[in-house]
C-alpha cells in the first residue's frame, strides 16, 4: 500500500484477488503472422443481431471489402480480412462453443481495397465532425476488442438524458498471461493518443483518462511522456489486482463513482473503451481501414515462444500455435482469452474472432479441477467479490432453482469475473451455478 502511494497508483476498493501475473510474452514485440491459407469469418462476432451476408460462394473479394452488412443499430459490419475467393457459407464451430454461420475465403494474393491508406505515418489532424466519426467507425465494423465485442458505434452516442464528462480508456489488461494491449500501448503510443482524441471529439468530452496497471510500467512511462502533446488526456497507473479491468471497477478506481446496479457507465458520467478498440478506431477514421486484423497473445507455461501476433480475423488458431513454436506435447486445455474469464476450446480449427484477445495453452497437469469438498463457510468468496455479493448464497439459491430470492440478492449484478471460484478452498464450482441461475432468470423473463 505504501508503494502504491509512492507511485501514485489508484485502485478499486471492493474485493478482488491476485492471480499470478505470468506475463510471459510481455517482452515479445508484435509479429505479423504470414497470411493463412483460408479464413473462416463468423457473422456473429459481436453482441446484437447477426450481420447479413452480401456475398455468394465463388465471389472474389479484396481485403477490406464488406462481406456482411449490419442488421439494425446494435449490429456490426463484417469485412473480408484476406483477398481471394469466397468458399462455403455454412455453420461452423466458433470460439463461443456454438455453431455459427460463417463465411470462408480461400486466400489468393493480398489485394486491398483502394480506399484504405496503408502507409504507417501518424495522422494527427481530425478534420471530421462527430457524426462523420461515428459513421466511419460504424462502417469499419469496430467492436469492443477487450472481449465483449459490443458494437463500438453504439457506445459513441450518449443516451438521452445522460451527462458524460469523462472518456476512460481501458489499458488495464488485468487477466494473467495476456499482453496484447500492453504491446500495442508500447509500440503505437501516438496512435492511441490520436485515437483517444478522435473519440473525445465524437463524444464531445474534453477529459480522458487512460488507466494502465502498474505491471506495465514501461507503457505508463511511454504514454505519460507524450501526454503533454495531447491536451485533456491523463495517464493513470493502477494497482495490480484482478478484476481492475472490469469497467465498473475501473470507473470506481479512477473517479470514485459507482455505476448503479443495472446501469451503464453513462449513468456514472463516463464512457469506457478498450485501448485495442481505440487503436482500431484510429485506423478506421484516419486510415479508412476496417477491422480486419488484431493482436493476439499466444502463451502458456509449455509454449516454446510466447508471442504477440498480428493476425487477420478468421485465421484458424492452429496457425497461431504453429507460429508460437508448435502445440506443446502436454497441452490439456486451450483457452480463448485469459484464464479467469476465457472460454475453453475443443478443437484446433476454430477461427480467431474480433474479440479473441489471447490463446492460452494450459499443460495437462494443471488443466483438471481439484477435488470438491463441502462448503466450509469460510466467507472468502464474500471477501473477494468485487460487486459486494455473497457468491456462496447465490450459488446455492441457483442450484435449488430459487430464482426470485437470487434476483433479490443481486445475482444479475454479477460480472462473472470468477474471483469466487478462484479463491474457494473447497474447489466448489460457485460461478458455474451462478451462471446457471442467471441464464434461468433470463429465460424466465423472456418467456
Partner 1 sequence: MSTDLLTVSPSPHVHVELTVPQVMRSVIFAMLPALGFSIYTFGIDALFVTLVAVISAMLFENIISVYLLKQKASIYDGSAVITGMLLAFNVPSNLPWHIILIGSAVAVGIGKMSFGGLGNNPFNPALVGRVFLLISFPVQMTNWPVPIMDAAVDGMTGATALGHLKEGIMQGIPVSALMTEMPSYRELFFGFQGGSVGEMSAFALIIGLIYMLTKRVITWHIPITMILTVFIFSGIFWLIDPELYANPFFHVLTGGVMLGAIFMATDYVTSPFTHKGMIIFAIGIGLITVLIRLFGNYPEGVSFAILIMNAFVPLINKYTRPVKFGAKPIKS
Partner 2 sequence: MNQELIYTVLLLVALGALAAIILYWVSQKFKVQENPKLEQVLEALPNTNCGGCGFPGCSAFADALVNADDLAPYNCPVGGNEVMKEVGEILGKAIEEKDPFVAVVKCAGAIHVRVHHTTYDGAANCSIASNLYSGERGCSDGCVGLGECVEACTFDAMYMDETTGLPVVIEDKCTSCNACVTACPKDIIELWPKGKRDKKIYIACVNEEKGGTARKECSMACSGCAKCVDECKYDAITVENDLAKIDYDLCKLCGKCIVACDVGNIVSTGFKPEMINTLAEKREKRLEKEKEAKRLEREKAKEVAEAEKENVSDKPES
- For residue 405, the minimal CB distance to partner 2 (Å) is 16
- For 344, the enclosing helix (H) or strand (E) is strand 343-345
Closest approach of partner 1 to the CB of residue 111, in Å: 33
Residues 397-436 that bind partner 2 (CB under 8 A): 429, 432-433, 435-436
CB of 379 to partner 1, least distance (A): 3
Q: Which of residues 86-105 bind partner 2 (CB under 8 A)?
A: 97
First to last CA, the chain: 49
Binding of partner 1 by 176 (CB under 8 A): yes
Distance (Å) of CA 77 to CA 59, 126, 302: 18, 23, 37
3-state secondary structure of 98: coil
Distant-in-sequence, close-in-space partners of 348: CB < 8 Å, separation ≥ 6:
316, 317, 318, 321, 327, 334
Considering only residues 305-344, where is the footprint of partner 1 by CB under 8 A? 327, 329, 331-335, 339-344
**Strand pairing class (84-93; 99-107):** antiparallel
Only one of the segments 73-81, 101-109, 191-199, 373-381 lies at the binding site for partner 1 (rule: CB under 8 A); that segment is: 373-381
Q: In angstroms, what is the minimal distance from the CB of 18 to partner 1?
A: 9
20-49 residues near partner 1, rule: CB under 8 A: 20
Residue numbers 183-212 binding partner 1 by CB under 8 A: none
Give the range of 104-112, 190-198, 206-214, 361-369 binding partner 1 by CB under 8 A.
361-369
CB nearer to partner 2: pick between 206 and 364: 364
Q: Which residues contact 177 (CB under 8 A, 6 or more apart)?
A: 22, 23, 24, 25, 297, 299, 300, 338, 339, 358, 360
**Which residues ranging from 337 to 366 are in contact with partner 2 (CB under 8 A)?**
344, 346-347
- Among 140, 203, 241, 392, the residue binding partner 1 under the rule CB under 8 A is 392
Q: Is the dihedral of CA 443, 444, 445, 447 positive or negative?
A: positive
The binder of partner 2 chosen from 121, 369, 374, 447 (CB under 8 A): 369
List all residues 6 or more positions away from 387 whose beta carbon is below 8 Å from its beta carbon: 14, 15, 248, 410, 413, 414, 415
| Residues 280-309 close enough to bind partner 2 by CB under 8 A | none
State the minimum distance, in angstroms, from the CB of residue 252 to partner 1.
Answer: 8
Residues present in the chain in total = 447
Q: Which is nearer to partner 2, 261 or 439 (CB)?
A: 439
Nearest to 166 by CA among 129, 206, 224: 206
Least distance from partner 2 to the Cβ atom of residue 337, Å: 14
Q: Whose Cβ is closer to partner 1: residue 185's or residue 381's?
A: 381
Assess contact for 75 and 48: CB atoms under 8 A: yes
Query: Shortest gap between Cβ of 401 and partner 2 (angstroms)?
Result: 9
Residues 254 to 273 in contact with partner 1, rule: CB under 8 A:
255, 257-263, 267-269
Nearest to 122 by CA among 273, 204, 211, 230: 230
Cell numbers for 89, please give them. Answer: 457459407
Rounded to a whole number of angstroms, the minimum distance from the CB of residue 436 to partner 2 is: 5
* 234, β-bridge pairs: 209
Tell me the C-alpha distance between 381 and 423, whole Å: 6
Judged by DSSP in three states, 89 sits in strand
Residue with smaller CB distance to partner 2, 107 or 395: 395
| Residue with the three cell numbers 500501448 | 185
Q: Which does 329 bind (CB under 5 to 8 A by kind): partner 1, partner 2, none?
A: partner 1
Chain residues in the site for partner 2 (CB under 8 A) = 97, 344, 346-347, 367-369, 429, 432-433, 435-436, 439-440
Amino acid at each position: 500500500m505504501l508503494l502504491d502511494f509512492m507511485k501514485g497508483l489508484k485502485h478499486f476498493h471492493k474485493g478482488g484477488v491476485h492471480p499470478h501475473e505470468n506475463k510471459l510474452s510481455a517482452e515479445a514485440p508484435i509479429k505479423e503472422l504470414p497470411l493463412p491459407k483460408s479464413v473462416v469469418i463468423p457473422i456473429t462476432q459481436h453482441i446484437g443481431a447477426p450481420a447479413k451476408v452480401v456475398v455468394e460462394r465463388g465471389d472474389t473479394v479484396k481485403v477490406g471489402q464488406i462481406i456482411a452488412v449490419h442488421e439494425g443499430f446494435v449490429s456490426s459490419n463484417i469485412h473480408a480480412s484476406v483477398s481471394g475467393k469466397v468458399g462455403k457459407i455454412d455453420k461452423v464451430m466458433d470460439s463461443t462453443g456454438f455453431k455459427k454461420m460463417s463465411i470462408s475465403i480461400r486466400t489468393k494474393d493480398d489485394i486491398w481495397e483502394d480506399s484504405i491508406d496503408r502507409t504507417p505515418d501518424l495522422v494527427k489532424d481530425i478534420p471530421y465532425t462527430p457524426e462523420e466519426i461515428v459513421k466511419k467507425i460504424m462502417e469499419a465494423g469496430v467492436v469492443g476488442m477487450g472481449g465483449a465485442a459490443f458494437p463500438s458505434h453504439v457506445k459513441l452516442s450518449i443516451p438521452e438524458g445522460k451527462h458524460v464528462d469523462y472518456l476512460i480508456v481501458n489499458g488495464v489488461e488485468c487477466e494473467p498471461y495476456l499482453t496484447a494491449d500492453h504491446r500495442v500501448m508500447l509500440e503505437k503510443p501516438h496512435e492511441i493518443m490520436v485515437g483517444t482524441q478522435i473519440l473525445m471529439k465524437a463524444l464531445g468530452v474534453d477529459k480522458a483518462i487512460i488507466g494502465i496497471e502498474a505491471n506495465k510500467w514501461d507503457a505508463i512511462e511511454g504514454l505519460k511522456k507524450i501526454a503533454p502533446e495531447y491536451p485533456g488526456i491523463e495517464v493513470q497507473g493502477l494497482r495490480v489486482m484482478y478484476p481492475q479491468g472490469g469497467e465498473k471497477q475501473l470507473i470506481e478506481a479512477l473517479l470514485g463513482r459507482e455505476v448503479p446496479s443495472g446501469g451503464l457507465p453513462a449513468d456514472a458520467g463516463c464512457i469506457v473503451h478498450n485501448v485495442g478498440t481505440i487503436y482500431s478506431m484510429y485506423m478506421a477514421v484516419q486510415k479508412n481501414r476496417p477491422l480486419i486484423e488484431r493482436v493476439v497473445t499466444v502463451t502458456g507455461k509449455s509454449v516454446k515462444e510466447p508471442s504477440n501476433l498480428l493476425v487477420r480475423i478468421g485465421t484458424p488458431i492452429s496457425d497461431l500455435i504453429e507460429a508460437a513454436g508448435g502445440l506443446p506435447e502436454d497441452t490439456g486445455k486451450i483457452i480463448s482469452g485469459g484464464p479467469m474469464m476465457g472460454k475453453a476450446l475443443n478443437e484446433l480449427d476454430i477461427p480467431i474472432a474480433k474479440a479473441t484477445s489471447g490463446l492460452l495453452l494450459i499443460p495437462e497437469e494443471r488443466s483438471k479441477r481439484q477435488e470438491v469438498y463441502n462448503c466450509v463457510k469460510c466467507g472468502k468468496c464474500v471477501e473477494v467479490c468485487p460487486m459486494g455479493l455473497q457468491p456462496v448464497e447465490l450459488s446455492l439459491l441457483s442450484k435449488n432453482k430459487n430464482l426470485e430470492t437470487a434476483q433479490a440478492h443481486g445475482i444479475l449484478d454479477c460480472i462473472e469475473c470468477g474471483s469466487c471460484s478462484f479463491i474457494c478452498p473447497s474447489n466448489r464450482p460457485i460461478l458455474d451455478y451462478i451462471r446457471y441461475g442467471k441464464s434461468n432468470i433470463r429465460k424466465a423473463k423472456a418467456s
